[in-house]
Structure 1
Amino acid sequence: MLSVIKLEHTQEWDSLVKRFREYDVYYLSGYVKAFCHNGDGDAKLIYYEKDNIRAINVVMVRDIYQDKHFTSKISKDTYYDITTPYGYGGFLIQGNTTDEDLKQLEQEYCDYCREQGIVCEFARFHPIHRNGEKLKSMYEIKKLGNTVTINLLSEQQIWADLSSKNRNMIRKAKKAGVEIFWGRSPQLIEEFIPLYNRTMDKNHASEYYYFDQDFYHSMLYDLKYHADIFYASYENKIIAMSILLFANQQMNYHLSASDTNYRHLAPTNLLLYEAACWGHTNGYKTFHLGGGVGCKEDSLYQFKKSFHKDGETDYLVGKKIFDEKRYQELIKLRKIELLEKGMAVEEIKDQFEQSDYFPIYRV
């Protein structure tokens, strides 16, 4: 009833995913390959089928031994935790699902995870499909914030949903001579990488967000039919770029970069507007922009919200512990490490009690 597909079985993986009405690009093998190259873990597709229901979940399996806090404390290939690949996902369930069906799915899933030495899972649910709301019996669900989705019903609707300030910025960009193009050549990737890295520098991003050449190579070739690079050009110079993903009538804003020297021309405003219109023309129904940094309603979030005043969607995450005993043992090992480094007992206690980070032993 429950089977696990490895990433090398690409055809079987994608065939199963595409049997689900609500699948998005985040579930496809080509998407997760890039994050395997990035060192995020070993990708697996969990597939479940019984009677009237089918379910899938894409996870990155991480050997806890590889975490710098545990390399000298536990053995390799012993304990793992799993997480949703960068972006959104979580279980998609299709069919006439009863409470009993969910219990059986949960039981088989938990049994499998314990057998594999998987201690816990952190899931980032899909804001558009709201699959987290259906899984409250399986996970400890929490809302982290909001994301923004543009409705691609028509170009008239796209324009009407913009804030008045955003409409003015788009007019300004057009009047200044900013033009929007798109493609997916290696040359565009080579243009994107330094511009993106400079954007990350400006935003003081963590090391994780500086992707290597293998990552971008995978984005270009493994997502051949599911990714495009949109870019804004001014006086024959590229001043803003975005990698957009799409599958199954859904578009997603993935990675973005811009030259701060041209911010006054509002190139990203025009880029996203033109991309939304392109999406409508090509049969897409939604364009998900994501949320703010750290799920906050910051300036980035307000910028995205200016594309759809009423387009807020809940962003839910789920926590699940499969092996409580091992989970507590890992916390204990982490606390001992902090004590050995000279941190006070009360300070350690406060750090673990006040943090929402999961799994807490990785904090």
Structure 2
Amino acid sequence: MDLEIILASDVQAWNFELEEMATFDFYHTAEYHLLDNSGEGRLLVFKENGHTLLLPLIFRKIPDSDLLDVSSVYGYVGLLHSSDYPFSEAFRLLEEYFKKEKVISAFSRIHPLIFGADKFERGELVCLNQTTAIDLSLSLEQQFYAYSKSVQRHLNKQESKKINIRLGTKPEDVEVFIKLYYSAMDNLQAAPDYYFSKQYFETLLNIQTFKSILIFCEKDGIVIAGGIFIICNNLMTYHLGAIVAEYRIYSPLKLLIDYARQIGTDNNCKTLHLGGGANSEKDGLFVFKSRMTSLRYDFCVWKWVVDSVCYQELTKCKQKSSFFPLYRASI
């Protein structure tokens, strides 16, 4: 078996390997990995007898050391494989490569809709909660009646019909969304990782490998909510969204999602992945999304302590928690 390393900067070579897979999402692309400034994006390509396994990762420096760890980009990633071929040898090569590169730990969020978790033969898989998705292979009418009764009533309300929904197609719309998003993160007291840079948004919305769609809700000429939905292959994803706090009573996110699923259907998408909750499957965000669909997918993460001796040394002063890797916990 051969192992090839492709850097995210080599966009053509990286995405060529993706095109050989049965499917992939925008999270797997080179361009999306280039948006991550926490480290270097590398695509690990394992090949044997015409079979391929891909593992996209971000290689990050561990502060005050010559050590590294690896993680996935923000979103749902995991690995991709071309067949059910047994890839046991790949993980032996991976372990050798990690040790050569002084990688202490590995972490990846597994894509719930693209199966491949069974291929991980090192470390452990931990199922955290579930995500939700709308089946866009149904007719528009069937999709609507798959909503909960309360969502159907809300969308049919005269007050909801007074809210204008439009696409954000003008250059200044990007700035409008950024301000809206930052304000929403402030209200939620979100972690610093959620404050993506202005360049992140500007670049994301102009990448040509996939299609980013910016949608706004307006009431009386005021933007009250916005969302970024991304189409890659036949999969649509609700990526980021924001609501003006005082307009939450109008539930504009329902209107955004309802509008987006119609766009996804028109673009021959099979699924609109809404994601899960903020923390657990029982939180308010998950409950809200679960009213839009009955489809559920297990969301798991991959954790692997590659060098247990170094890991223990790095974590010896840290308070025990479920955070992984523990040495990067803020407390």
Question: CA separation in 2, counterparts of 1:205 and 1:223?
Answer: 30
Determine which of 267, 291, 294 is the counterpart of 2:252: 267
SS at match of 1:246: strand
Q: Which residue of 1 aligns with 2:75?
A: 87
Q: Is this contact kept in 2: 1:3–1:48, CA < 8 A?
A: yes
- 1:21-170 equivalences under 5 Å are 21-36=22-37, 40-65=38-63, 71=64, 74=65, 78-98=66-86, 102-132=87-117, 134-153=118-137, 154-170=139-155
The one-letter code sitting in structure 2 at the alignment partner of 1:305 is: S
Q: Which residue of 2 aligns with 1:280?
A: 265
Question: CA separation in 2, counterparts of 1:5 and 1:115?
Answer: 17
Q: Is this contact kept in 2: 1:152–1:158, CA < 8 A?
A: yes
Q: Which residue of 1 aligns with 2:194?
A: 209
Q: Which residue of 2 aligns with 1:9?
A: 10
Q: Is this contact kept in 2: 1:33–1:218, CA < 8 A?
A: no
Q: Is this contact kept in 1: 2:24–2:114, CA < 8 A?
A: no
Q: Is this contact kept in 1: 2:206–2:212, CA < 8 A?
A: no
For the pair 1:323 / 2:307, whether they are aligned, the reply is yes
The one-letter code sitting in structure 2 at the alignment partner of 1:158 is: Q
Q: Is this contact kept in 2: 1:147–1:314, CA < 8 A?
A: yes
Structure-1-length-normalised TM-score:
0.86
Deviations, residues 305-359 of structure 1 (Å, cap 9, x unaligned): 1110x21110011111222222222223xx1xxxxxxxxxxxx6xx32xx11111
- 1:189-208 equivalences under 5 Å are 189-208=174-193
Q: Is this contact kept in 1: 2:133–2:295, CA < 8 A?
A: yes
SS at match of 1:222: coil
The one-letter code sitting in structure 2 at the alignment partner of 1:55 is: L
Distance 1:148 1:173, change over 3 A: farther
For the pair 1:18 / 2:19, whether they are aligned, the reply is yes
Q: Is this contact kept in 1: 2:168–2:174, CA < 8 A?
A: no
The one-letter code sitting in structure 1 at the alignment partner of 2:45 is: Y
Q: Is this contact kept in 2: 1:158–1:277, CA < 8 A?
A: no
Question: CA separation in 1, counterparts of 2:246 and 2:44?
Answer: 46
Q: Offset at 1:46?
A: 1.1
Distance 1:116 1:268, change over 3 A: same
Q: Offset at 1:176?
A: 3.9
User: Identity rate of aligned residues, in percent?
Assistant: 27
Deviations, residues 96-136 of structure 1 (Å, cap 9, x unaligned): 313xxx2201011111111111111011101112322x135
The one-letter code sitting in structure 2 at the alignment partner of 1:88 is: Y
Q: Offset at 1:203?
A: 1.1
SS at match of 1:221: coil
Q: Is this contact kept in 2: 1:33–1:222, CA < 8 A?
A: no
Distance 1:224 1:282, change over 3 A: same
The one-letter code sitting in structure 2 at the alignment partner of 1:181 is: R
Tell me the C-alpha RMSD between the 2 structures. Answer: 1.7
Q: Which has the higher helix share?
A: 1
Q: Is this contact kept in 2: 1:172–1:266, CA < 8 A?
A: no
Question: CA separation in 2, counterparts of 1:160 and 1:27?
Answer: 33
Deviations, residues 199-218 of structure 1 (Å, cap 9, x unaligned): 11111111221222221222
Q: Which residue of 2 aligns with 1:360?
A: 326
The one-letter code sitting in structure 1 at the alignment partner of 2:77 is: G
| Structure with larger Rg | 1
Question: CA separation in 2, counterparts of 1:107 and 1:184?
Answer: 48
Q: Is this contact kept in 1: 2:123–2:302, CA < 8 A?
A: yes
The one-letter code sitting in structure 2 at the alignment partner of 1:151 is: D
Deviations, residues 71-105 of structure 1 (Å, cap 9, x unaligned): 3xx3xxx210001110011111122313xxx2201
Which consecutive residues of structure 1, in runs of 5 or more, have no partner in the other structure?
66-70, 336-347
**How many residues are matched?**
327
Q: Which residue of 2 aligns with 1:338?
A: none
Q: Is this contact kept in 1: 2:105–2:325, CA < 8 A?
A: yes
The one-letter code sitting in structure 1 at the alignment partner of 2:301 is: V
The one-letter code sitting in structure 2 at the alignment partner of 1:22 is: T
Question: CA separation in 1, counterparts of 2:219 and 2:51?
Answer: 52
Q: Is this contact kept in 2: 1:173–1:267, CA < 8 A?
A: no
Determine which of 240, 244, 256 is the counterpart of 1:255: 240
Q: Offset at 1:263?
A: 2.2
Distance 1:224 1:140, change over 3 A: closer
